[in-house]
Amino acid sequence: MISLWNLHPFPSMVSVPDYVKSKLSGETNDLITPIQVSENLHLHADKALNLLDKLNAGENKELANTLSDIRSMALLGKYYACKINGATQLALYRETREVSYQEASVKQLTNALEYWKAYTSNAMQQYKNPLWLKRVGHIDWVKLTREVERDIELAGKEL
């Protein structure tokens, strides 16, 4: 079976499983780690959110919608930043059984849930739920929230 973790289009990035192996073995390389990806997502999303706080669409509905879309994408970036970090911490916990990694995972995934809720709340002000996307069909943000909550439950389970 092919692992989806290893099927990414960026050869300069290391997958979560490979990162865990190298971290635990003490190996180093020049590849971008999942933690660095998470940090970069946070930085870019924070920059967008900070800039949005300085902008005002006034009566321009099209600009207001565009700024709302940018806010949604920034919040989605924050969600993925936390989710990637949480998944990495969980993988470290599963390999080491060190509870501090599990606690970090649960914390990151809990933060991810909050960003997911902010993302969906912002997006649903402008779009109908469920949303029809041509390539994937219906996306139901409300139903997907349960899956995001489930990530926290799974990470918190004892091995």
**pLDDT, tens digit, for every residue of 11-62?**
699 999 999 999 999 999 899 999 999 999 999 999 999 999 999 999 999 9
* Domain assignments of the chain as residue spans, ordered by start: 13-156
Query: What are the pLDDT digits (tens) for 109-137?
Result: 999 999 999 999 999 999 999 989 889 89
Q: Token pair for residue 83?
A: 């989710």
Q: What is the pLDDT of residue 133?
A: 87
Please tell me the distance from the alpha carbon of residue 149 to that of residue 5, in angstroms, as a whole number: 22
Q: Token pair for residue 14?
A: 């290391």
* Distances 115 to 9, 43, 112 between C-alpha atoms, Å: 26, 15, 5
The average confidence (pLDDT) of the chain is 93
Type and span of the H or E element at 71: helix 61-96
Please tell me the distance from the alpha carbon of residue 136 to that of residue 95, in angstroms, as a whole number: 34
E-strand stretches of 37-153? 131-133, 137-139
Note if the pTM is more than 0.85. yes
* Distances 6 to 3, 18, 67, 130 between C-alpha atoms, Å: 6, 9, 34, 31
Whether the Cβ atoms of residue 72 and residue 122 lie closer than 8 Å to each other: yes
Q: What is the DSSP letter of 5?
A: G
Please tell me the distance from the alpha carbon of residue 64 to that of residue 114, in angstroms, as a whole number: 23
In the predicted structure, residue 150 carries a pLDDT above the cut 60 = yes
